[in-house]
Amino acid sequence: MKKEELLSKEIEHIDIKSFDSREIIEAFSKMAFQAKNLARASYILEKMTEDKDCSIILCLAGSIFSAGLK
């Protein structure tokens, strides 16, 4: 595909304020591999945001330096 073809259509964005992701997250929970893990992470995040005493610590797995962080 040529650049002109790729740029011929305007990119449409999702309005996150009107988009309800609950149905797709629920569907992900019944799928395999990373879809199921994404749904699980969503449920954990929901519980964390509801808990007033929750502390959030950022952990990165893998080599962040080989990924470009210097």
DSSP code per residue over the chain? --HHHHTTSPPP---TTT---HHHHHHHTTS-HHHHHHHHHHHHHHHHHH-TT--------S-TTTTT--
The pTM assigned to this predicted structure is: 0.56
Per-10-residue mean pLDDT of the chain, 70 residues long, equals 87 82 91 92 92 82 66
pLDDT of residue 70: 56
